[in-house]
Amino acid sequence: MMIPVRAFNDKWFIGVPALLALLRGNDYSASQGRVQQALANRRPEIESHHQRHGLGQRHNVRHNNPINQIISM
């Protein structure tokens, strides 16, 4: 599988606010508790991803538009 190369500013930190916005912005039902549990279940994988790409918790503030206006599901 070919992994696309993205500019640093085109990447998103995977966290509860971004996932809720993405899901709800695409007309999916999502509760904060379920999103938190899903993230907790994959925490090592997600933390490794963030480290590999140099993404910190405040990374997403650099984006001018909400995630659901950039990414659709």
pLDDT value, residue 48: 97
What are the tokens at 45? 């994988």
pLDDT value, residue 1: 67
Asked if the structure places residue 48 within a domain, the reply is yes
pLDDT value, residue 49: 95
Asked if the structure places residue 3 within a domain, the reply is no
Cβ(27)–Cβ(69) below 8 Å: no
Asked if the structure places residue 69 within a domain, the reply is no
Asked if the structure places residue 6 within a domain, the reply is no
Asked if the structure places residue 62 within a domain, the reply is no
List the domain range (segments joined by +) for residue 46.
Answer: 11-56
* Helices 16-25 + 32-41 axis angle, to 10: 120
Per-residue pLDDT of the chain (73 residues; tens, 9 = 90+): 677 788 898 899 999 999 999 999 989 999 999 999 999 999 999 999 999 999 999 999 999 888 988 888 8
Predicted TM-score of the model (pTM): 0.81
Domain count, the chain: 1
What are the tokens at 6? 């993205």
